[in-house]
Structure 1
Amino acid sequence: MFVRIVKMSFEPSKIDAFLAYFATKKELIRGFEGCRFLELYRDKTNANIFFTYSYWEKESDLENYRQSELFKNVWATTKKMFNDKAEAWSVNKLVTLK
């Protein structure tokens, strides 16, 4: 399993629209084959910065998602609201403590 982290910075006037849009798509994203976990975070000091964390079974599952119509539509809509370029990382989870 590995983790995908995406940092997004939004125009302040577009934040409510982003949150409303994400609410309509989060279950579809989480339900995509291979996605095991999805969370959305908001930076505590810069309210226009958000992060998604998603856990994927295999790298090919994430790639299938990134090639899907769901992703293409979500990304096309979301990136119109950005005020800076998004950043993304794929990382291997090494340790989990519960």
Structure 2
Amino acid sequence: MFVRIVKMSFHQKHIAEFLAMFEEKKSLIRASKGCELLELYQDKNNPEIFFTYSYWNAEEDLENYRNSDLFKTTWKQTKTYFNDKPLAWSVDKRVSLQ
């Protein structure tokens, strides 16, 4: 399993639209094969910055999602809200304490 982290920065005027779209799509994204967790975070100091964290069973699962119509249409819409280039990382979880 690995974690995909995506940092996105939005124009203030588009945040409500992004949140509405995410609310509509989140269950579909989470239901994608191999997706074990989906979370959305908003920066406390800069409300224009958001992060998604998603847990995937295998890199192939993430790639299949990224090649899906769901991802293509969602990402196409999301990109229209950006005020900066998004950043993404795929990382392996080493330690988790709860």
TM-score scaled by length of structure 1: 0.99
Number of the residue aligned with 2:74: 74
1:27 aligns with 2:27: yes
- How far did 1:96 drift? 1.0
Letter in 2 for 1:3: V
Number of the residue aligned with 2:63: 63
- Tell me the distance in 2 between the aligned counterparts of 1:68 and 1:21: 17
Number of the residue aligned with 1:97: 97
Number of the residue aligned with 2:8: 8
Letter in 1 for 2:21: Y
* Amino-acid identity (%): 63
TM-score scaled by length of structure 2: 0.99
Give the secondary structure class of the aligned counterpart of 2:21.
helix
Unaligned residue ranges in structure 2 (runs of 5+): none
Matched residue count: 98
Number of the residue aligned with 2:88: 88
Q: Deviations over 1:43-80 (max 9, x none)?
A: 00000000000000001000000011100000000010
Give the secondary structure class of the aligned counterpart of 1:81.
coil
Letter in 1 for 2:74: V
- Tell me the distance in 1 between the aligned counterparts of 2:22 and 2:78: 9
CA RMSD of aligned residues (A): 0.4
4+ residue segments displaced more than 3 Å: none
1:45 aligns with 2:45: yes
- Tell me the distance in 1 between the aligned counterparts of 2:59 and 2:73: 21
